[in-house]
Amino acid sequence: MVNKDRLRTMKIFQGFSEDDLASTAQYLVEKFFPAGMVLIRDHVIGEGIYFIVSGQVKIVRGGIAQGETPIAELGAGQHVGEMALIDNRPTTAKVVADGAVVTYFLDRIKYRTLLDSHPTAAVKFLEHFSKSFCERLRNANDLLLKERQMTAQLAAKLETPG
C-alpha cells in the first residue's frame, strides 16, 4: 500500500486535498529497482510516471555506438515519465537506477481514470507538469545559448592568425 503521507512530502502533490491524495495513493504501485536497472527505455511508448520515493535515477541519451550522454539526475521527491502521459509518443531518453531506487508508479490508464474522477487532482497535475516543462525549456534554452556562444568564440579563435 502506498503511503499518502509520503506523497504529501513530494512537491508535485503539495496543494492536493486529502481526498485527492487518498484517491491518488489507491492508483499507485510501489516499485523497487536495483542499481543499473532500466526504469524507462528510450524510443518506446512510455507506460506511465514514476514518483521517486528514495534513491536517484540518471536520464541518459545515446546508445552503444556513440556512448550514453547523461542529461539529468533526479532524486527523491521528483518524477520522471510524465511526457508519455501527455503526448503518447515514444520516450526521448533512457532512465536508469543510480543505486537502489524506490518509486511509486502510476500507469497511463490509471492516470486517465484518476483525472476523470478527480478534476481538482487533474488541474494540480497539469499545473505542475506545465511548470516543470517551462523550467526544463528555460534550462535547455540557456544551454543552447551557451553552446552557441562557445562555438562563436572557438570559430573566432580559429580564424584569428596566431
pLDDT digits (tens, 9 = 90+) for 43-95: 999 899 999 999 999 999 876 667 788 888 999 999 999 988 888 889 889 99
pLDDT in tens, 8-19: 889 899 889 998
Please say whether the beta carbons of 140 and 93 come within 8 A.
no
**152 falls in which pLDDT band (50, 70, 90)?**
confident
Structural domains of the chain ordered from first start: 4-159 (2.60.120.10)
Please say whether the beta carbons of 4 and 25 come within 8 A.
yes
pLDDT at 128 over 80: yes
**162 falls in which pLDDT band (50, 70, 90)?**
low
pLDDT in tens, 90-127: 988 999 999 999 999 999 999 999 989 998 888 888 88
Query: What integer pLDDT is reported at residue 65 of this predicted model?
Result: 66
Query: What integer pLDDT is reported at residue 59 of this predicted model?
Result: 93
Query: What integer pLDDT is reported at residue 63 of this predicted model?
Result: 67
pLDDT at 135 over 90: no
Please say whether the beta carbons of 42 and 93 come within 8 A.
yes
Query: What integer pLDDT is reported at residue 155 of this predicted model?
Result: 85
**47 phi and psi angles, rounded to 5 deg:** -95, -25
Instruction: Could you list the beta-strand ranges (E) of the chain.
Output: 29-33, 38-40, 48-54, 56-63, 67-75, 79-80, 94-97, 101-107
Please say whether the beta carbons of 106 and 65 come within 8 A.
no
Cell 500507469 sits on residue = 107
Instruction: Could you list the beta-strand ranges (E) of 90-160.
Output: 94-97, 101-107
**153 falls in which pLDDT band (50, 70, 90)?**
confident
DSSP tag of 64: T
